[in-house]
Amino acid sequence: MMSHRKSSKVIVSSASNPYPKKADKISDRAEKDAGRNFGRIARTGILDQFVDRAGNRLLVGIPARYWRGFLKIFTETATEENIKTARARFSEQV
């Protein structure tokens, strides 16, 4: 049986300099991208360490990553039932 699922593999840019030259190839590429519309912004991993450190930073004694998860529960369109379900799921993760 032939699979019709498209590849979701990403070919990551080898760029690691935060200030690349204009001609540098810094964009990640999708293995399969016939429309050539995959991500316009390169993800070089420069911010990974910063994001990890920021998530571990204590805010009122609680790591920021938990605040972020908690605050995501309360969206403009969330119903009371959505909030209850999300809070229960969040409590299991913490």
> What pLDDT band is residue 86 in, cutting at 50, 70 and 90?
very high
Overall average pLDDT of the 65-90 stretch: 92
Mean pLDDT of the chain: 81
Domain boundaries, the chain: 7-46, 48-93
What pLDDT does 1 receive? Answer: 42
- The answer for 59, left when phi > 0, alpha when psi is -120 to 50, beta otherwise, is beta
Rounded distance between C-alpha atoms, residue 40 and residue 61, angstroms:
38
pLDDT tens per residue across span 23-68: 888 877 788 777 766 654 445 566 778 889 999 999 999 999 999 9
Residue 77 pLDDT exceeds 60:
yes
Between CA 19 and CA 9, with CA 54 as vertex, the angle to 5 degrees is 60
